[in-house]
Amino acid sequence: MDSDSSVISSQPSSPDLLLSDEPTSGFSGAVSSTQSECGGELCGERGLQLRARDSLRLKDKKQMSESELQQLRLKINSRERKRMHDLNIAMDGLREVMPYAHGPSVRKLSKIATLLLARNYILMLTSSLEEMKRLVSEIYGGHHSTFHPPTACGSLAHAGAPLPGHPPPHPPHPVHHPIMAPAATSASLPGAGLSAVNSIRAPHSLLKSAGPASAPLPSGFQQWGGMPCPCTMCQVPPSHHVSSMATAGMSRLSSDTK
DNA sequence: TAGGCCATCTGGTCCT
DNA sequence: AGGACCAGATGGCCTA
Q: Answer yes or no: is A235 within a domain.
A: no
Return the CATH number at A134. 4.10.280
Give the residue whose CA sits closest to C1 at C1': A57
Give the domain extent around A112. Answer: 66-140
Chain A span 49-68 residues with beta carbon within 7 Å of strand B: 50-51, 54, 58
Q: Answer yes or no: is A149 within a domain.
A: no
Q: How far is the CA of A21 from the C1' of C8 (A)?
A: 32
Per-residue pLDDT band for A130 (boundaries 50, 70, 90) equals very high
Q: Answer yes or no: is A146 within a domain.
A: no
Give the residue with greater pLDDT, A249 vs A133: A133
Q: Answer yes or no: is A26 within a domain.
A: no
For A148-173, write each residue's pLDDT tens digit: 444 333 333 333 333 333 333 333 33
Q: What percentage of chain A has pLDDT greater than the value 70?
A: 27
Chain A span 206-245 residues with beta carbon within 7 Å of strand B: none
For A23-82, write each residue's pLDDT tens digit: 333 333 333 333 333 333 333 333 333 333 344 344 455 556 777 777 788 888 888 888
Q: Answer yes or no: is A43 within a domain.
A: no
Domain count, chain A: 1
For A188-219, write each residue's pLDDT tens digit: 333 333 333 334 444 444 444 433 333 333 33
**DSSP string for residues in chain A:** --GGGS---PPP--GGGGG-S-HHHHHGGG-THHHHHTTTS--HHHHHHHHHHHHHHHHHHHHS-HHHHHHHHHHHHHHHHHHHHHHHHHHHHHHHTSTTS-STTSPPPPHHHHHHHHHHHHHHHHHHHHHHHHHHHHHTTTT--S---GGGGT-GGGGTSPPTTSPPPPPPPPPPPSSS--HHHHHHS-SGGGHHHHT----GGGGGGG--TTSPPPHHHHTTTSPPP-SGGGSPPP-TTS-HHHHHHHHHHHGGG-
Q: Answer yes or no: is A132 within a domain.
A: yes
Q: Answer yes or no: is A56 within a domain.
A: no
Q: Answer yes or no: is A8 within a domain.
A: no
Q: Is the CB of residue A73 inside 7 Å of nucleic acid strand B? A: yes
